[in-house]
């Protein structure tokens, strides 16, 4: 009694303390003052904040630069959702640590060398009519010229292709309007024959190129055999873009060394940077991939390098498929307008952006009107005659993105650290906003597609300098979110990126992405097909052939089957594991001590991990995802024996064992626990059935999962009974515990289903009731009152029918509880709960709202 009383005082005191604290900190003005926030800050917060459970409108895929990965985040919340391993192993996804993902990573090996990193720059989606489809994503590797395919049905990398002729690239991956080709243009020129050549042969044998990778949509794969390249002069090609609309069939690639300067700082010559920026103009390469596609059919037009067709400059020129247009000094981004008519180029070393008009380009090409040819014979068009106009933007214009509004474009200024909004048709600057600092790419939502969505823009800043808490000399990168919905751009959010330099992002309306949430049973996620080693419940086995051991295992909450595997030292061991779960997010992991293998096995997936058991000993293996309350118990042992050795058995240690009576009493206890647990389950099942759960798909899938678990009980229970009959009480107890495990898992999911169903069924809350619930929570009322249950205070369901003139009674009681402490009813309650209702100092409006909330509770009685 004494103890209880003391406890109740503590509870009351802490509730009161909670009451005042939350009152103070829930006042917006106070918080703004305390946190030194301006109204503009609060507005920015309101524009980006997503309440728990709310989803984002856009999903952004960002290259991870030198991390070789992709990261995925949401707009406007700027919450990071995922890193996708692409050119780099990513252990939490098992990428590079299980057999099938290793195969994907090893596709990226170059001339026999293992490459385990990449420098990712430009992600791009599959397109239809120039609009994003978003079922596959392509990304390039600048350092080791490669393109990867990420399947957006499960956000996994499924293919890497190595460029057969280039030594570095940059103008990838750009997708033609119906995903016919993925474009990859070289960066640093090099000999295509992969042989040694001195720099003196630069003009003669060093070459750039563009590769047109054929995408096979049906297979979701790049078809290397159907792909081909076009040879370019050694002008150091850069960014590229595919034409669309009126420029469909054409593509555009920038360059920055039309001087063909070859450096030599070590010989006392001016460095590359000096000689490469000498000319006032460089060249935009204009080429027609539809014509090139035809040229690639006839061997007289191409040369084979490393099994790959490379169309010669000569053949392309002859066919009228390749032209050059001068463009301002050392340009960087080239971006085709949504309708395909204009091509905007930013010259890094020029303060202007140049707007080319494709109609004019096409006219000159049709009339064969050229101002000459370059040393390789490529016709050059007159820059002035192809320009729509130029606009002075500021220092270091790099990249561009288009707005939903026709004629509006945004350009990043690297040196000025700004975004400029301008009108590329009327050639007028409209607005500018500062970013922090040194911006590279930028993106308005779907801003490089034929149908930009506008709304928000992302600034990908190269430096963050002083923006964040310091974390050492290597600073995080900074992505900034800008509201471009109004006439003035407004910076509203900073997202530090802890992962390489993200060169470019691509954004898509979230509802276009429809990834699956579980796999069809037995899926090999890297091929999309059924895994040859899919193993279902009851099929678990170990097969040996010579020194190869194959374990066909299964994973389910919370055991790995098998739990013991013995092999010989030197055996080649493969664990095939199928996750039998059907429920969303029930991933299991698999790791073996010391053998450098790891798998992430999502529901329905089958994975394989192979290693040579070259070390004798006992090696635990276990699940690496906290998948249930019994996750730590999800383990097993691998025993590696040396077949050449004789093992003497160790004398068994005699330990005290349980008596027969003790065993009997434990058996009774577990039987009683199981009965009680089953009662709870049955009451939940009754609730679900009574309320027709099957009508609600989300609830239905949860119930199915729960019943899956429950369905396993019969077999285990039979084993328990059999053991008991045979007099093996210890065995019976263990099997009964296993029954309980399944019950706990059933109840866990079942209760989740019940809560979900209750939410579906409850009548919508009126605004007053919503405010009432807020006041109720703010006041800490839920500390003592649990709706639908007697807790440390009475259940409030039905409180409005417990008293005469109840609304007034409840109002008065909340307003001044002490005034009723002497009433018989309240006295009984105080005695029963050993607790007095405290005065929470609610104002009249709050109390009225709480009464509305109580009415809503009564309307929904029985659901909670
Ligand atoms: S790039 Cu890095 S800022 Cu590779 Cu498109 Cu321009
Ligand atoms: Cu499965 Cu932890």
Question: Is the same domain home to 345 and 205?
Answer: yes
Domain assignment of residue 518, yes or no: no
Q: Which of 592, 616, 641 is the last residue of a domain?
A: 641
> How far is C-alpha 524 from the geometric centre of its chain's CA atoms?
20
User: Whole-angstrom Cα distance, residue 743 to residue 660?
Assistant: 27
User: pLDDT at position 639, please?
Assistant: 98
Distance 2 CA to ligand 1 centre (A): 72
Query: What letter would DSSP give residue 113?
Result: B
What would the pLDDT profile of 830-860 be if each residue is shown by its tens digit? Answer: 988 888 898 888 999 999 999 999 999 988 8
Distance 501 CA to ligand 1 centre (A): 10
Question: Is the same domain home to 676 and 723?
Answer: yes
Question: Which residue, among 487, 461, 489, 486, has the nearest Cα to 475 in the 3D structure?
Answer: 461
Question: Is the same domain home to 454 and 588?
Answer: no
Domain assignment of residue 53, yes or no: no
Question: Is the same domain home to 21 and 132?
Answer: no
> How far is C-alpha 646 from the geometric centre of its chain's CA atoms?
52
- Residue to substitute in 68, 332, 396, 461 for testing ligand 1 pocket (most ligand atoms within 8 angstroms of CB): 332
User: pLDDT at position 786, please?
Assistant: 85
Distance 92 CA to ligand 2 centre (A): 14
**What DSSP line would sit under 386-454, residue for residue?**
HEEEEEE--S-EEEEEE-SSTTEEEEEETTTTEEEEEETTTTEEEEEEE-SS-EEEEEEETTTSSS--E
Ligand 1 is surrounded, with C-beta below 6 A, by: 121-122, 170, 239, 332, 398-399, 440-441, 503-504
- Atom 3 of ligand 1, nearest CA residue: 440
Helices (H), 644-696: 660-690
Distance 64 CA to ligand 1 centre (A): 12
Which-ligand-closest: CA of 635? 2
Distance 256 CA to ligand 1 centre (A): 14
Which-ligand-closest: CA of 591? 2
- Atom 1 of ligand 1, nearest CA residue: 503
User: pLDDT at position 369, please?
Assistant: 98
Average pLDDT over residues 97-110: 98
Based on the structure, what is the number of domains in the chain?
5
- What is the pLDDT confidence band of residue 321, given thresholds at 50, 70 and 90? very high
Atom of ligand 2 nearest to the CA of 627: 2
User: pLDDT at position 151, please?
Assistant: 98
Atom of ligand 2 nearest to the CA of 586: 1
User: Whole-angstrom Cα distance, residue 814 to residue 594?
Assistant: 63
What would the pLDDT profile of 729-764 be if each residue is shown by its tens digit? Answer: 999 999 999 999 999 889 888 888 888 888 888 888
Distance 543 CA to ligand 1 centre (A): 52
What would the pLDDT profile of 700-710 be if each residue is shown by its tens digit? Answer: 988 988 888 89
Atom of ligand 2 nearest to the CA of 628: 2
Q: What is the CATH number of the domain that holds 533?
A: 2.60.40.420
Distance 555 CA to ligand 2 centre (A): 8
Atom of ligand 1 nearest to the CA of 504: 5
Answer yes or no: are the C-beta atoms of 376 and 312 closer than 8 Å.
no
Element (H, E) at 588: strand 588-592
Q: Which of 718, 739, 761 is the last residue of a domain?
A: 761
Distance 581 CA to ligand 2 centre (A): 11
- What is the pLDDT confidence band of residue 16, given thresholds at 50, 70 and 90? very low
Question: Is the same domain home to 747 and 844?
Answer: no
- What is the pLDDT confidence band of residue 347, given thresholds at 50, 70 and 90? confident
On the question of pLDDT at 583 being above 90, the answer is no
Q: What is the CATH number of the domain that holds 333?
A: 2.130.10.10
Average pLDDT, the chain: 93
Question: Is the same domain home to 175 and 264?
Answer: yes
Which-ligand-closest: CA of 503? 1
Query: What letter would DSSP give residue 734?
Result: H
Distances (CA, A) of 407 to 355, 448, 456, 553, 734: 11, 13, 17, 59, 73
What would the pLDDT profile of 206-234 be if each residue is shown by its tens digit? Answer: 999 999 999 999 999 999 999 999 999 99
Which-ligand-closest: CA of 636? 2
Domain assignment of residue 580, yes or no: yes
What would the pLDDT profile of 528-543 be if each residue is shown by its tens digit? Answer: 999 999 999 999 999 9
Q: Which of 761, 795, 827 is the last residue of a domain?
A: 761
Distances (CA, A) of 269 to 261, 263, 265, 275, 760: 11, 7, 5, 10, 75
Percent of the chain with pLDDT strictly greater than 70: 97
Domain assignment of residue 156, yes or no: yes
On the question of pLDDT at 440 being above 50, the answer is yes
CA dihedral 163, 164, 169, 173 (to 10 degrees): -30
Evaluate the CA torsion angle 729, 734, 738, 740 in order and state its sign: positive
Distance 83 CA to ligand 2 centre (A): 21
Distance 611 CA to ligand 2 centre (A): 22
Atom of ligand 1 nearest to the CA of 121: 4
User: pLDDT at position 78, please?
Assistant: 98
On the question of pLDDT at 407 being above 90, the answer is yes
Question: Is the same domain home to 757 and 775?
Answer: no
User: pLDDT at position 24, please?
Assistant: 52
Question: Is the same domain home to 695 and 792?
Answer: no
Atom of ligand 2 nearest to the CA of 560: 1
Retrieve residue 171's tokens.
């103008």
Q: What are phi and psi of 390, to 5 degrees?
A: -130, 150
Question: Is the same domain home to 664 and 597?
Answer: no
Answer yes or no: are the C-beta atoms of 597 and 551 closer than 8 Å.
no
Average pLDDT over residues 573-582: 96
Retrieve residue 826's tokens.
């309240």
Question: Is the same domain home to 662 and 804?
Answer: no
Q: What is the CATH number of the domain that holds 784?
A: 1.10.760.10
Element (H, E) at 556: strand 548-556
Distance 633 CA to ligand 2 centre (A): 8
Domain assignment of residue 438, yes or no: yes
Domain assignment of residue 517, yes or no: no
Question: Is the same domain home to 617 and 724?
Answer: no
Domain assignment of residue 825, yes or no: yes
Choice among 285-289, 603-607, 651-655 with the minimum mean pLDDT? 651-655
Atom of ligand 1 nearest to the CA of 399: 6
Distance 686 CA to ligand 2 centre (A): 30
Q: Does 425 or 680 have the greater pLDDT score?
A: 425
- Atom 2 of ligand 1, nearest CA residue: 503
Average pLDDT over residues 58-71: 96
What would the pLDDT profile of 602-611 be if each residue is shown by its tens digit? Answer: 999 999 999 9
Which-ligand-closest: CA of 396? 1
Retrieve residue 86's tokens.
């692409």
Instruction: Print burial letters for 567-590: b (CB count within 10 Å at least 16), e (below 16).
Output: bbbebbbbbbbbbbbbbeebbbbb
pTM attached to this predicted model = 0.86
CA atoms within 13 A on the CB side of 226: 9
User: pLDDT at position 15, please?
Assistant: 41
- Residue to substitute in 174, 236, 239 for testing ligand 1 pocket (most ligand atoms within 8 angstroms of CB): 239
Question: Is the same domain home to 235 and 274?
Answer: yes
Distance 622 CA to ligand 2 centre (A): 8
Query: What letter would DSSP give residue 821?
Result: T
Side by side, the strands of the sheet bearing 352-357 are 331-336, 342-347, 352-357, 387-392
Domain assignment of residue 456, yes or no: yes
User: pLDDT at position 629, please?
Assistant: 84
Retrieve residue 552's tokens.
């066909």
Ligand 2 is surrounded, with C-beta below 6 A, by: 558, 588, 623, 625-627, 631, 634
Answer yes or no: are the C-beta atoms of 134 and 512 closer than 8 Å.
yes
Domain holding 735, by residue range, is 650-761
On the question of pLDDT at 13 being above 60, the answer is no
- Atom 1 of ligand 2, nearest CA residue: 588
User: pLDDT at position 14, please?
Assistant: 43
565: left (phi over 0), alpha (psi -120 to 50) or beta: beta
């Amino acid at each position: 009694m004494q103890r209880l009383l003391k406890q109740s005082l503590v509870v009351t005191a802490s509730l009161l303390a909670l009451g005042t604290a939350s009152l103070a900190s829930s006042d917006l003005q106070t918080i703004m003052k305390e946190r030194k926030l301006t109204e503009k800050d609060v507005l920015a917060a309101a524009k980006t904040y997503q309440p728990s459970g709310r989803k984002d409108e856009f999903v952004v895929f960002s290259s991870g630069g030198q991390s070789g990965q992709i990261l995925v985040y949401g707009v406007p919340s700027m919450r990071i959702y995922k890193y996708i391993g692409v050119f780099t192993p990513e252990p939490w996804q098992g990428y590079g640590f299980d057999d099938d993902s290793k195969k994907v990573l090893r596709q990226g090996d170059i001339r026999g060398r293992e490459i385990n990193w990449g420098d990712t720059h430009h992600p791009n989606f599959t397109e239809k009519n120039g609009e994003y489809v978003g079922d596959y994503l392509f990304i390039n590797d600048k350092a080791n010229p490669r393109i990867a395919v990420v399947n957006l049905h499960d956000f996994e990398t499924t293919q890497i292709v190595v460029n057969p002729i280039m030594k570095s690239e940059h103008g990838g991956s750009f997708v033609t309007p119906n995903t016919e080709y993925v474009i990859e243009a070289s960066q640093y020129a090099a000999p295509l024959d992969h042989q040694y050549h001195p720099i003196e042969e630069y003009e003669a044998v060093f070459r750039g190129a563009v590769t047109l990778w054929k995408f096979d949509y049906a297979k979701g794969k790049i078809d290397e055999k159907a792909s081909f390249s076009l040879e370019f002069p050694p002008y150091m090609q850069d960014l590229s873009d595919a034409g669309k609309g009126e420029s469909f069939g054409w593509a555009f690639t920038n360059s920055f060394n039309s001087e063909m300067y070859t450096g030599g700082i070590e010989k006392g010559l001016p460095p590359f940077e000096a000689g490469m920026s000498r000319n006032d103009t460089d060249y935009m390469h204009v080429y027609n991939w539809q014509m090139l596609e035809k040229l690639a059919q006839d061997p007289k037009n191409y040369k084979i390098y490393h099994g790959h067709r490379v169309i010669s400059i000569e053949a392309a020129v002859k066919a009228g498929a390749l032209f050059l247009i001068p463009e301002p000094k050392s340009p960087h981004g080239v971006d085709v307008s949504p309708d395909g008519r204009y091509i905007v180029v930013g010259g890094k070393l020029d303060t202007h952006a140049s707007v080319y008009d494709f109609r004019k380009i096409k006219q000159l090409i049709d009339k064969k009107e050229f101002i000459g040819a370059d040393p390789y014979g490529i016709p050059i068009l007159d820059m002035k005659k192809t320009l729509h106009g130029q606009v002075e933007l500021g220092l270091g214009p790099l990249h561009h993105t288009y707005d939903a509004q026709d004629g509006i474009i945004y350009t990043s200024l690297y040196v000025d650290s700004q975004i400029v909004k301008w009108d590329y048709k009327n050639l007028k600057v409209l607005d500018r906003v500062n970013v922090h600092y040194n911006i590279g790419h930028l993106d308005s939502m779907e801003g490089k597609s034929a149908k930009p969505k506008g709304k928000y823009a992302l600034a990908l800043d190269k430096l963050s300098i002083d923006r964040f808490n310091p974390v050492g000399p290597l600073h995080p990168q900074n992505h900034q979110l800008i509201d471009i919905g109004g006439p003035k751009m407004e910076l509203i959010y900073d997202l530090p990126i802890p992962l390489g330099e993200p060169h470019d992002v691509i954004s898509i309306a979230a509802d276009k992405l429809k990834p699956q949430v579980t796999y069809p049973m037995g899926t090999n996620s890297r091929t999309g097909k059924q895994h040859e080693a899919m193993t279902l419940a009851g099929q678990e086995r170990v097969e040996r052939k010579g020194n190869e051991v194959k374990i066909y295992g299964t994973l389910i909450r919370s055991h790995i089957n098998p739990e013991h595997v013995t092999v010989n030292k030197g055996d080649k061991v493969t664990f095939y594991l199928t996750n039998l779960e059907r429920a969303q997010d029930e991933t299991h992991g698999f790791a073996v001590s010391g053998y450098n293998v790891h798998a992430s096995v999502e529901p329905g997936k089958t994975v394989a991990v192979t290693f040579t058991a070259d070390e004798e000993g006992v090696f635990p293996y276990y699940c690496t995802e906290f998948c249930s309350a019994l996750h730590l118990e999800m383990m097993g042992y691998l025993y590696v024996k040396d077949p050449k050795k004789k093992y003497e058995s160790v004398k068994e240690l005699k330990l005290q064992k349980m008596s027969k009576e003790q065993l009997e009493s434990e058996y009774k206890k577990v039987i009683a626990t199981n009965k009680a647990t089953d009662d709870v389950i049955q009451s939940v099942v009754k609730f679900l059935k009574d309320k027709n759960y099957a009508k609600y798909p989300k609830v239905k899938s949860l119930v199915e999962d729960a019943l899956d678990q429950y369905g396993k009980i019969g077999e285990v229970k039979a084993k328990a009974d059999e053991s008991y009959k045979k007099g093996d009480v210890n065995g019976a107890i263990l099997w009964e515990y296993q029954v309980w495990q399944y019950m706990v898992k059933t109840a866990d999911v079942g209760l989740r289903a019940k809560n979900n169903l209750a939410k579906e069924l409850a009548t919508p809350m009126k605004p007053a009731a919503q405010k009432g619930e807020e006041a109720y929570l703010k006041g800490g009322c839920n500390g003592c009152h649990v709706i639908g249950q007697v807790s440390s205070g009475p259940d409030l369901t039905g409180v409005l029918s417990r008293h005469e003139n109840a609304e007034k009674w409840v109002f008065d009681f909340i307003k001044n509880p002490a005034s009723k402490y002497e009433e018989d009813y309240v006295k009984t309650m105080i005695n029963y709960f050993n607790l007095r209702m405290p005065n929470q100092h609610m104002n009249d409006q709050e109390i009225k709202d709480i009464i509305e909330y109580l009415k809503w509770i009564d309307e929904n009685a029985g659901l909670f």
